[in-house]
Amino acid sequence: MQKTEKQDACPSGKKLLPAGDAIKALALDLDGTTLRPDAVLSGPTIRTLRACMDRGVEAIICTGRSVGAAEPYRRAIGGRGPMVYFNGAVVTDPAGGEALSTILLDRDIAAGSVDIARKRGVHFQVFLRGSASGSGVGECLMIEREDEETEFYRKRTGLNPVIGDIREALSTLPEQAPGQPAAGCIKGLFIGEPPVLEEIRSALEEQYPGRFCLVRSHATFLELMAAGVSKGQGLRLAMERRGLNPAAVFAFGDEENDLSLFGAAGYSAAPANAKAEIREAADFVIGSNAEDGVAVFLTEIFRL
């Protein structure tokens, strides 16, 4: 692939690099894309995103993270309006307090996933919504035991989990009351080596065919959501509420769970650290997240 004249973004041959004034919003994956490898949102990236927003370009966070785990980054850039969390299972405006969509995983699938994880000795955690989670109607991270994966996830997200029997917690979540948010499992997450995660994928597909969505968001993460959930679907809802034409949105992502973003937006870019198949699917390949590739690319395209 040949380089563009602007910088080191490489076109896949699908599209020409758009003019800055053609882009009205940025759909931003966090981990592996906008954040550095240590999950830090760098000063240059913060300044660049703020400069884009000062020019009227909206920043839409589209992440597998929970609302709480993504909130420090949203505050850092001053983002407003609907954002996409939990790979699209939740679309909400955390600054304005407006919840637009929450799609819950069927409880029997979440409970069956606990059994699969226990049988294989693999770390499994869930984000629960509802009073039985111990956090009112908000999101609560639950694990069954402390392990190395717990500490890894805690350092990565800053979240402290509740420890308990996930199956029991699922069984005691209340049914939806009139006028109240539904209680249930927003997302499950297996953490393990890639071959084991593929075994788990196969086991789930055999037991619950067509009833869930599975995506890889990290080399050792396999995320489980309800059928139909995707970042792309979440972004479409966020764009609709923001009054955005998809053709004017530029999506950035590095993993399997970002492919649907590429399909929902007019333009897409993957950092150099993304998997080969993700780079191939993107319209452009930019600098790695370790090099603040998103910020460098935006500085060039918007001539900041």
Question: Is the residue at 4 inside a domain?
Answer: no
pLDDT, tens only, 213-241: 999 888 899 999 999 999 999 999 999 99
pTM, entire model: 0.91
User: Distances from the Cα of 239 to the Cαs of 29, 62, 93, 112, 230, in angstroms?
Assistant: 15, 12, 12, 35, 14
Residues 217 and 120 in one domain: yes
Predicted pLDDT at 14: 67
Question: Is the residue at 3 inside a domain?
Answer: no
Residues 74 and 156 in one domain: no
Full residue range of the structural domain in which residue 137 is found: 104-226
> What phi and psi values does residue 265 have, to the nearest 5 degrees?
-100, 160
Question: Is the residue at 201 inside a domain?
Answer: yes
pLDDT, tens only, 30-80: 999 999 999 999 999 999 999 999 999 999 999 999 999 999 999 999 999
Where is the domain boundary, 167, 192, 226? 226
Residues 245 and 281 in one domain: yes
Give the separation between CA 77 and CA 220, rounded to whole angstroms. Answer: 28
Give the separation between CA 293 and CA 251, rounded to whole angstroms. Answer: 13
Where is the domain boundary, 226, 243, 269? 226
* Bridge partners, residue 143, by sequence: 163
Give the separation between CA 150 and CA 181, rounded to whole angstroms. Answer: 28
Where is the domain boundary, 196, 226, 256? 226
Both structure tokens of 227: 């059928």
Domain count, the chain: 2
What is the chain's mean pLDDT, rounded?
91
3-state secondary structure of 77: helix
